[in-house]
């Protein structure tokens, strides 16, 4: 009964979204606050209806109602309750409902946005409703998660056990909040193309309206990608954290476009310039989100993460991409030449640096797009199959980013309109000197000595020190009396702290990525009980192996002791598992992680086998991953920086205040 | 079933289960080469060679049986004295370009390899054109515009720019 109710609620949400678009269009046309108010009501109701549908789906999963196809295929009575709930978004159909929930939810939030002029808001609400119609219709007509099964099986087929993991249960909601959050910037951009050119002060205000949405989506996406990467790191048991897998790339594309959007929106807000470009990026970010959905769900890609391999649904998603993005970009091509922004500025200025940032981020996105789609296109065109993997991106993406990172710290030190490059260089001289010193020390400290790693360390240190130098400059540290420094520190807006933290977090990530990539050590050996294998400075002893029974799996759990090869760090005991899930007949690994400061000792239990020396031995793989902690800490800092900026009152209040000041 | 029967059943299940790829024989045990330099070369190659039946996994990462065979093949060739390039060429001969994570450089992949550089150049050229565009001559403000400007500036003074903490900052 509740399941039918859920199916009904999903259809209701579709109808309400259609109503939202209709009312918003009519309201905008007739300039009727009544009609557009109705559209806003419909948007909120659509969000509630989608939430009810999602709740009904979760109910079906928690009660293991196997008469529902989706539950029967993706759940099992033995599953722990937490994963029964998470299984609701573990399949194509369920995750699509989550996608729609986030989209209608953001649509409802958009109706609460303050300070937007009538026409722009009505148009944006209408466009958001149209996007919701596309995706809800896709869910209702091709991927309905409430379809029944007769006769109902006694037991479900269970979810892919790789997905039975806390990080992965939380990863999709965060990722979707990021992906789909960009639908609001998309709607605001289309609305601006419809409404734009009305008055010259429009674009700075629009930049300010679009920024909180872009920032919130960016924060969610950053957290979602980081969590996904961390999951791949400890669940797949390969010791790596980023594989340039096409699906990883699909989530990285909107992130790159979103990051570029954040920066160019600042220029639009502060200088009224780059309006067309910012609109373009806002359209691009969400187009990349839809492209990602297509790549993951259509089966055109072979990837660890791909699910719902179904070409027919893929074609429909491609059609949605064509309709939504195609019409938006067509509108852009038509209206962009009429958008007048103050396009003139000197190259050496804050906006000049931000434009350069945009150049690099956009080319980085183009590179990732090429690397992801090229094999597909080449195979379709010529039948030749190629693989594009880490070596390609190391040769293209990495140098691009290295140059961008060299320029980055100078940007915040340049003034708007006309910057003082020499002054900025002087203020960064100390940071630059220290960064080079860091690179040199790193070159001496890490074995084997690698020029690449030394350069990477210097760049990471440069990002952190350069960001700090900018803050010190602003609060006049060491140059003004302490009282003055204190006053300036308190006076510094949260947005400035957020920017500094995000840039420094990027530096932290670079340090971790460079050291982990350059100096990780892998060792594997068949070990009998009491046997030992060492990787770098750590020796791992296999103490015992026992068989344990989990809620829906059986595991061979190896308990190992990690000791330093030399030195007096305390030994620590950790366990790693190899789990067998009878329901799906799959085996997964549960990595044993020993956190040693910034380093990880990463232990993977392999298969049991016999060696000439011992009848029973287990292949134990050990990775020593130096500074791996920083790889995930860096993006976490970036997300916190984004949250700080988001909570800056200026983002929310200044528009209203400026208007009031103008009126008064 | 007695308590002592459990482990046997479980071990049997493990034996049946095989690696994550299921339904195919598990990889033969890896026997590292005796020479550390040769083994390091083999490991470096593993990470750029794709497991041909897997989804975007290198043979270094894959638990599949064929990945184990490919690792053994690479080790054998290195032990027989082949250079890295010779090993790569042999793999491409057996499995096609698909087997290497580094795409080949030929007419069909020029856009892939040089696309990023081309994009940088195009972008830089566009920016240069934008910067070098001359500012439009503007006529002096009318008295009415002067008054509105003064009002705006007064309004700005009410809302001091929080970013302008340094004297060289624009506003």
Contact A416/B at CB under 8 A: yes
Question: Closest by alpha carbon to B14, among A445, A41, A555, A84?
Answer: A555
3-class DSSP state for residue A591?
coil
User: Between chain A and chain B, how many beta carbons pairs sit less than 8 Å apart?
Assistant: 172
Domain containing B84 — which CATH number? 1.10.8.640
pLDDT-based confidence at B166, cuts 50/70/90?
very low
3-class DSSP state for residue A608?
strand
All residues of chain B having their beta carbon less than 8 Å from the beta carbon of residue A493 are 162-163
3-class DSSP state for residue B29?
coil
Q: What distance in Å separates residue B101's CA from the closest CA in chain A? A: 4
All residues of chain A having their beta carbon less than 8 Å from the beta carbon of residue B14 are 554, 556, 578, 580, 587, 607-608
For CA atoms A50, A55, A61, A65, the dihedral sign is negative
Tokens of A139: 């869910």
Give contacts of A 335-374 with B, CB under 8 A. 343-347, 350, 352, 355-356, 359, 362-363, 366-367, 370-371, 374
- Span A165-344: which CATH code? 1.20.120
Q: What per-residue confidence (pLDDT) applies to A113?
A: 87
Supply the ipTM of this predicted assembly: 0.84
Does B128 reside within a domain? no
Share the mean pLDDT of chain B. Answer: 73
CATH architecture of residue range(s) A521-625: Sandwich (2.60)
Q: What per-residue confidence (pLDDT) applies to B2?
A: 40
Tokens of A322: 């064509």
* Terminal Cα-to-Cα distance of chain B (whole angstroms): 83
Residues A246 and A252: their CA atoms lie apart, in Å, by 10
Q: What distance in Å separates residue B80's CA from the closest CA in chain A? A: 23
Does B55 reside within a domain? yes
Let me know: does A217 contact A187? Beta carbons within 8 Å: no
Whether A586 and B96 lie within 8 Å, measured CB to CB: no
Contact A661/B at CB under 8 A: yes
Whether A391 and B48 lie within 8 Å, measured CB to CB: yes
Q: What per-residue confidence (pLDDT) applies to B148?
A: 75
Asked whether residue B15 carries a pLDDT value surpassing 50, the answer given is no
Whether B127 and A355 lie within 8 Å, measured CB to CB: yes
Residues B171 and B163: their CA atoms lie apart, in Å, by 9
Residues A544 and B58: their CA atoms lie apart, in Å, by 31
Asked whether residue B17 carries a pLDDT value surpassing 60, the answer given is no
Whether A302 and B56 lie within 8 Å, measured CB to CB: yes
Residues A576 and A635: their CA atoms lie apart, in Å, by 27
CA atoms within 13 A on the CB side of B132: 6
3-class DSSP state for residue A464?
helix
DSSP assignment string, A140-190:
HHH--TT-B-SSPPSS-----GGG-SHHHHHHHHHHHHHHHHHHHHHHHHH
All residues of chain A having their beta carbon less than 8 Å from the beta carbon of residue B166 are 415, 473-474
Give per-10-residue mean pLDDT for chain A (664 aa).
93 97 94 93 97 96 90 86 89 92 96 88 96 96 89 80 79 92 96 75 86 95 93 82 89 96 91 87 96 83 54 86 96 82 70 90 96 90 89 94 93 84 87 94 86 93 94 83 85 89 96 92 87 90 91 90 89 92 81 90 85 78 92 96 87 47 42
Does B150 reside within a domain? no
Q: Which residues pair with A621 in a beta bridge?
A: A524, A604
CA atoms within 13 A on the CB side of A45: 16
Closest residue to B100, CB basis, from A352, A387, A586 = A387
Does B52 reside within a domain? yes
CA atoms within 13 A on the CB side of A8: 5
Cβ atoms within 10 A of the Cβ of B126, count?
Answer: 11
Residues in chain A: 664
How many domains does one find in chain B?
1
Q: Which residues of A269-288 are buried (b: 16+ CB within 10 A; e: fewer)?
A: bbbbbbbbbbbbbbbbbbbb
Q: What per-residue confidence (pLDDT) applies to A393?
A: 95
**In chain A, domain spans:** 1-162, 165-344, 420-520+630-664, 521-625
Q: What per-residue confidence (pLDDT) applies to A616?
A: 82
Residues B25 and A382: their CA atoms lie apart, in Å, by 34
Q: What per-residue confidence (pLDDT) applies to A661?
A: 46
Contact A400/B at CB under 8 A: yes
Q: Which domain holds residue B29?
A: 11-99
Q: What distance in Å separates residue A362's CA from the closest CA in chain B? A: 9
Whether A585 and B101 lie within 8 Å, measured CB to CB: no
**B27-65 pLDDT, tens per residue?**
556 777 888 888 888 888 998 999 888 778 888 877 778
Whether B100 and A522 lie within 8 Å, measured CB to CB: no
Question: Closest by alpha carbon to A123, among A194, A44, A206?
Answer: A194
């Amino acid at each position: 009964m509740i399941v039918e109710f859920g199916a009904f609620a999903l259809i209701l949400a579709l109808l309400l979204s259609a109503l939202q678009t209709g009312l918003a269009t009519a309201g905008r046309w007739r300039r009727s606050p009544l009609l557009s108010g109705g559209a806003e009501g419909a948007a909120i109701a659509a969000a509630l209806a989608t939430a009810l549908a999602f709740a009904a789906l979760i109910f079906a999963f928690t009660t293991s109602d196997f008469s529902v196809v989706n539950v029967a295929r993706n759940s099992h009575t033995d599953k722990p309750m937490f994963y029964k709930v998470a299984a609701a978004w573990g399949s194509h159909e369920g995750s699509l409902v989550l996608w729609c929930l986030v989209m209608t939810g953001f649509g409802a939030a958009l109706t609460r946005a303050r300070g937007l002029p009538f026409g722009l808001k009505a148009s944006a609400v209408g466009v958001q409703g149209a996007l919701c119609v596309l995706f809800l219709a896709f869910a209702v007509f091709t991927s309905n998660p409430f379809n029944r099964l007769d006769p109902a099986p006694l037991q479900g087929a269970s979810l892919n056990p790789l997905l039975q993991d806390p990080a992965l249960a939380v990863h999709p909601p965060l990722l979707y909040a990021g992906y789909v959050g960009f639908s609001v910037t998309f709607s605001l951009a289309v609305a601006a193309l419809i409404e734009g050119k009305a008055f010259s002060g429009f674009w700075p205000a629009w930049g300010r309206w679009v920024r909180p949405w872009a920032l919130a989506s960016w924060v969610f996406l950053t957290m979602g990608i980081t969590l996904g990467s961390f999951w791949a790191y400890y669940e797949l048991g390969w010791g790596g954290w980023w594989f340039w897998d096409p699906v990883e790339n699909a989530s990285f594309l909107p992130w790159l476009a979103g990051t570029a959007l954040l920066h160019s929106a600042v220029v639009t807000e502060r200088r009224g310039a780059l309006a067309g470009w910012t609109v373009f990026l806002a359209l691009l970010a969400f187009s990349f989100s839809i492209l990602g959905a297509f790549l993951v769900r259509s089966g055109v890609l072979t990837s660890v993460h791909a699910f719902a391999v179904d070409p027919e649904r893929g074609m429909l998603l491609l059609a949605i991409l064509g309709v939504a993005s195609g019409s938006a970009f067509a509108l852009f091509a038509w209206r962009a030449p009429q958008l007048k922004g103050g396009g003139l500025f000197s190259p050496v200025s804050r906006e000049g640096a931000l434009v350069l940032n945009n150049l690099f981020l956009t080319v980085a996105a183009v590179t990732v797009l090429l690397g992801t789609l090229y094999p597909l296109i080449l195979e379709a065109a010529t039948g030749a199959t190629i693989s594009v993997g880490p070596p390609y991106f190391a040769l293209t993406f990495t140098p691009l980013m290295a140059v961008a990172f060299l320029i980055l710290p100078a940007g915040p030190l340049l003034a708007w309109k006309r910057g003082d490059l020499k002054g900025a260089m002087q203020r960064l001289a100390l940071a630059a000197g220290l960064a080079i010193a860091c690179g040199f020390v790193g070159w001496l400290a890490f074995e084997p000595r690698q020029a690449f790693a030394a350069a990477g360390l210097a760049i990471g240190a440069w990002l952190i020190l350069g960001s700090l130098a900018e803050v010190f400059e602003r609060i006049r540290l060491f140059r003004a009396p302490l009282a003055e420094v204190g006053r300036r520190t308190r006076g510094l807006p949260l947005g400035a702290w957020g920017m500094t933290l995000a840039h420094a977090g990027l530096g932290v990530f670079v340090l971790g990525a460079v050291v982990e990539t350059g100096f990780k050590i892998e060792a594997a050996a068949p070990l009998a009980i009491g046997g030992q294998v060492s990787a770098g400075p750590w020796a791992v002893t296999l103490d015992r192996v026992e068989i344990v029974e989990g809620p829906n799996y059986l595991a061979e759990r190896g308990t190992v002791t990690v000791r330093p090869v030399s030195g007096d760090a305390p030994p620590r005991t950790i366990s790693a598992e190899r789990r067998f899930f009878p329901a799906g007949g799959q085996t997964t690994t549960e990595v044993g992680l020993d956190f040693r400061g910034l380093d990880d000792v990463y232990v993977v239990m392999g298969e049991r086998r016999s060696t000439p020396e011992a009848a029973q031995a287990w292949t134990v793989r050990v990775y020593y991953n130096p500074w791996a902690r920083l790889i995930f800490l860096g993006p976490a800092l970036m997300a916190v920086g984004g949250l700080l900026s988001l909570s800056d009152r200026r983002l929310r209040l200044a528009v209203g205040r400026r208007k009031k000041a103008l009126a008064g | 079933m007695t308590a002592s029967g459990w482990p046997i059943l479980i071990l049997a299940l493990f034996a049946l289960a095989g690696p994550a790829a299921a339904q195919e024989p598990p990889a033969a045990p890896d026997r590292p080469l005796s020479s550390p330099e040769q083994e390091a070369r083999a490991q470096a190659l593993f990470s750029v060679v794709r497991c041909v039946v897997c989804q975007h996994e290198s043979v270094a990462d894959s638990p599949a049986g064929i990945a184990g065979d490919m690792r053994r093949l690479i080790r054998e060739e290195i032990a027989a004295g082949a250079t890295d390039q010779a090993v790569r060429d042999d793999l491409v001969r057996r499995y096609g370009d698909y087997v290497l994570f580094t795409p080949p450089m030929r007419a069909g992949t020029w856009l892939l390899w040089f696309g990023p550089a081309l994009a940088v150049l195009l972008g830089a050229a566009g920016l240069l054109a934008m910067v070098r565009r001359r500012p439009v001559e503007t006529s002096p403000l009318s008295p009415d515009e002067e008054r509105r400007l003064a009002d705006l500036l007064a309004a700005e003074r009410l809302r001091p720019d929080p970013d302008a903490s340094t004297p060289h900052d624009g506003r």
